[in-house]
Amino acid sequence: MSNKIFLLFYRQNSNGRPLQVFPLREYWARWADLMWHTRRIAPGRLVVMSVSMAGCSGLRQAAADFLAKLGSLFAQHLTPSTHWIWVFVMGGRTISEAAVIEGSSDVNIHTTLALSEDPPLHQKTLRGSEQRRWQFCDTEDGMGGLCNEYEPSPLPLPTPPGLRHASKDALQNVPVIVTAGVRHQYLYHSLSTILSAAGVHPNNILVALGDAPKPTRELLGLLGMKYTILPTHGDGNTKLFRYYKKVFQLIVGRFPKAQNVIIIDEDVEVSPDFFSFMSQTMWLLQQEPSLYCINGLGRPQGLAYNSSKVLRGEAQVSWGYAISIAFVQEALNIWLQAPDDLGSHYDFWLYVHVAKGRECIFPEVSRSRHYGTGINTDGFITEKYFLSSPLEKGWGIELPNTKRLRLAAWRQDLSASIKRAKVLEGNPCSRAFLPTPTRPATFVFYVNMNETPDGRPDISDYFPVATCLGGWGLSPVGLHEGVATFTVSFNVTLHVMGVPYSSYAHLRHPHIKPWTLEAAGNEDRRIVEEALAHSSRLAVGNLNLTSGDLMHKLINESLQRGH
């Protein structure tokens, strides 16, 4: 178990056990997961953090500062090879802390802890769900308000308001499937956001458990949630692929009269506006054959400004989405013929083998966000694109004229917008590339994009353009017939058109050559390479810190605090 950081908790007469393991040798995203879980530990719990071998290169400054505020003396000074252990009371004081900054020795702490054998006095007279809550919390933590003895979350959760607009009944008969397993800390948070979102129909929610350990089942019992168990064998992506096939089979078998279904993973939080967004757009799944899904995930930070703006383009189903039951059946007809051990990502498999060129719609400002880490977590992608996506905080946001999301109308409106747009030229990675108008304005930028032998767009030149703008450029996801539309500031909308691939390429000004990295000069190439490198650059603090440096820093900090 090398290159990891352990987070443990103890409470009363609990024997204690590892709560989470964070592979902080990885630079991206894992630090955020460490902070997420630590924030949700109840006040008064005894916490043990321990580094096994070496695992601090990915701790990152934000997490180090966070741990320092909790009382750690060493957190801001840990080197990538540090051996460290810290015992403290959440919201209280440090019991013991030790670190070996240099060398390869393990670090140990010997301390005596006097733990109460009795529950708090106010819990002795509890009955019913409150008694079950604290029995559950006696052995579980990282549950946020559920297990906070000082400010416990209400149980059950209060009923949220209904929707403000006329389509509020659109979700009355729409099942909401929450896919889940062993990560009950994630599941509680996600269910809390779902049950608190305006327009939710709690009776429509069904939790589909691929794994069903006792803590997860107890949690669902506390919340009064319906669930079913879908036993699945295998490992890794093979197991997940089989599990989601069972989920699709469950949907068809359990809800034969439904037209649509919403699917949300256990590590996805939804906006208060999630069901409002779905209720205004879901009708398109029956009336617009060029679409196959409605995604809640929108643009990342820096490209998300307009809460009422909705886009369409190529996409995989993305963490908090709606599809039609007809599409579920269509997928199963192909899925049941596929080998059972493909090990594919089910969402990518649907995109490639079932969507068949159909697009999805998605909001500019996200109505759902994937915050967890798991089997398929790519830390860099998670941090850059998912964790950075701002989640809409309002609710009941009216979407103007969703009829224009139908393909014919979308093509008409996009063509008109491109015709009116001012042409941008130059290096898309240059700081001077984007204009700064004082009034709303639309621009178009042409980039070289050929067609591959299988009929797909060649995104070799599109990748640096999208990346430098802050968007997704790793695949054609987000492109509509070779055009990506970005809101790059409050006043600037930018269409990036791939030429000659795009069906809109005939609108290009003939005297403007599409940008291509191959034709760029040496200075422009340097700017592009520097920009791409900057987006994934590692910056490890305290890389060469010595024990002497640490003592010097601690003495100075102590003097500054007047100790």
- What DSSP letter does each residue of 9-52 carry, written as one string? EE-TT---EEEEEE-TTS-SSHHHHHHHHHHTSPTT-EEEEEEE
Helices (H), 228-318: 236-254, 274-281, 284-287
Q: Is the pLDDT of residue 394 over 50?
A: yes
Q: What is the pLDDT of residues 28-54, one digit of tens each?
A: 999 999 999 999 999 988 899 988 766
Does 16 score more than 60 pLDDT? no
Q: What is the mean pLDDT of residues 300-325?
A: 95
Average confidence (pLDDT) over 172-187? 95
135 located within any domain: no
Q: What's the mean pLDDT in 171-192? A: 95
- Give how far Cα 221 sits from Cα of 143, 193, 215, 216, 225, Å: 15, 18, 10, 9, 6
Q: Give the residue carrying structure tokens 């291509």.
A: 516
Q: Which residue has the higher pLDDT, 115 or 99?
A: 99
Is residue 494 scored above 80 in pLDDT?
Answer: yes
Whether residues 288 and 398 share a domain: the answer is: yes
**CA pair distance 277, 165, nearest whole angstrom:** 11
Task: Answer whether residue 422 shows pLDDT above 80.
Answer: yes
Rounded Cα distance, 223 and 55, in Å:
36
CB 206 within 8 A of CB 310: no
Cis ω for the linkage preceding 152 (within 30 of 0): no
Q: 449 pairs with which residues across the strands?
A: 500
Please tell me what DSSP assigns to residue 385: I
Does position 297 have pLDDT exceeding 90, yes or no?
yes
- Name the amino acid, one letter, at 35: M
Domain-embedded: residue 527: no
In the structure, what pLDDT confidence band is assigned to residue 235 with cuts at 50, 70 and 90?
A: confident
Residues 335 and 439 reside in one and the same domain: no
In this structure, what CATH number is given to the domain that contains residue 186? 3.90.550.10
Q: The tokens of 374 are what? A: 């798991």
Predicted local confidence at residue 233, as pLDDT: 87
Same structural domain for residues 328 and 414? no
Strands (E), 410-556: 422-423, 441-449, 483-487, 492-500
Supply the pLDDT for residue 546.
Answer: 78
Strand residue runs (E) in 352-437: 359-363, 368-370, 422-423
Q: What is the pLDDT of residue 502?
A: 97
| Number of residues written out for the chain | 563
Segment among 281-295, 504-518, 540-554 with least mean pLDDT: 540-554
Q: Does 110 fall in a domain?
A: no
SS3 of residue 414 by DSSP: helix
The residues that bridge with 48 in the sheet, in sequence order, are 8, 87
Beta bridge partners of 446: 497
pLDDT in tens, 462-484: 999 999 999 998 889 999 999 99
Do 398 and 483 lie in one domain? The reply is no
- Exposed/middle/buried for 236, CB within 10 Å: 0-12, 13-18, 19+? exposed
d(Cα 209, Cα 177) in Å, to the nearest integer? 10
> What does the pLDDT average to over 98-123?
70
Note the Cα 6 to chain centre separation in Å: 23
Instruction: Judge whether 117 lies within some domain.
Output: no
Residue 459 and residue 421 share a domain:
yes
Query: Is 108 within the bounds of a domain?
Result: no
- Confirm whether 555 is domain-assigned: no
Give dist(CA 75, CA 97) in Å, integer: 10
Contact 262, 197 (CB under 8 A): no
Indicate the helix (H) or strand (E) that contains 177. Answer: strand 176-180
Higher-pLDDT residue of 93 and 166 is 93
Same domain, 367 and 434: no
Domain count for the chain, please give it. 3
Kindly tell me if the per-residue pLDDT of 377 is higher than 80.
no
Residue 116: what pLDDT? 64
Alpha-carbon distance of 490 to 440, in angstroms, equals 7
270 — pLDDT class (breaks 50, 70, 90): very high
Q: Of residues 560 and 406, which shows the higher confidence score?
A: 406
Find out whether 527 and 433 touch, Cβ atoms under 8 Å: no
Which positions ≥6 away from 304 have C-beta within 8 Å? 298, 364, 365, 366, 389, 390, 487
Residues 28 and 383 sit within 8 Å (Cβ to Cβ): yes
Regarding whether 215 and 360 lie in a shared domain, the answer is yes
pLDDT band at 166 (very low <50, low <70, confident <90, very high): low
At 204 the pLDDT is 96
Structure tokens at 119: 């529950």
| pLDDT band at residue 109 under the 50/70/90 scheme | confident
Contact 270, 296 (CB under 8 A): yes
Pairwise CA distance, residues 405 & 290, whole Å: 10
Of 41, 68, 100, which one is at a domain's C-terminal end?
A: 100
Would you say residue 276 has pLDDT above 80? yes
Calpha distance 502→415 (Å, rounded): 12
Are 66 and 40 part of one and the same domain? Answer: yes
Domain annotation covers residue 161: no
Asked whether residue 505 is domain-assigned, the answer is yes
Assign 330 to helix, strand or coil: helix
Q: Are 434 and 397 in a shared domain?
A: no
| Structural domain ending residue among the three candidates 41, 70, 100 | 100
pLDDT band at 1 (very low <50, low <70, confident <90, very high): very low
Higher pLDDT, 343 or 192: 192
Nearest Cα residue to 271 out of 295, 243, 247 = 295
State which of 380, 403, 426 marks the end of a domain: 403
Q: Is the pLDDT of residue 115 over 70?
A: no
Q: How far apart are CA 537 and CA 175, in angstroms?
A: 43
Please, which pLDDT band fits residue 12 given cuts at 50, 70 and 90?
A: very low
Residue 17, amino acid: R
Q: Are residues 247 and 346 in the same domain?
A: yes
Check whether 420 has a pLDDT greater than 90.
Answer: yes
Residue 156: asked if its preceding bond is cis (omega within 30°), the reply is yes
Residues 329 and 467 in one domain: no
Q: What is the largest CA-CA distance in the chain?
A: 82
Contact in structure between 48 and 78 (CB atoms under 8 Å): no
User: Which domain covers residue 270, as residue numbers?
Assistant: 168-403
Can you give the pLDDT at residue 286?
96
- Would you say the pTM of this structure is higher than 0.85? yes
Q: Taking residues 220-231, what's their average pLDDT?
A: 95
> Same domain for 18 and 49?
yes
Helices (H) and strands (E) in the chain, counts: 15, 19
β-pair type (176-180, 205-209):
parallel
Average pLDDT for residues 432-451, to the nearest whole number? 96
Average pLDDT over residues 230-240: 87
Query: Looking at residue 165, what is its pLDDT?
Result: 66
Short-list 303, 417, 412, CA closest to 362: 303
Q: What's at 192, amino acid-wise?
A: S
Pairing mode, strands 441-449 and 422-423: parallel
The pairing of beta strand 291-295 with beta strand 17-22: unpaired
Res 221 pLDDT > 60: yes
pLDDT of residue 343: 66
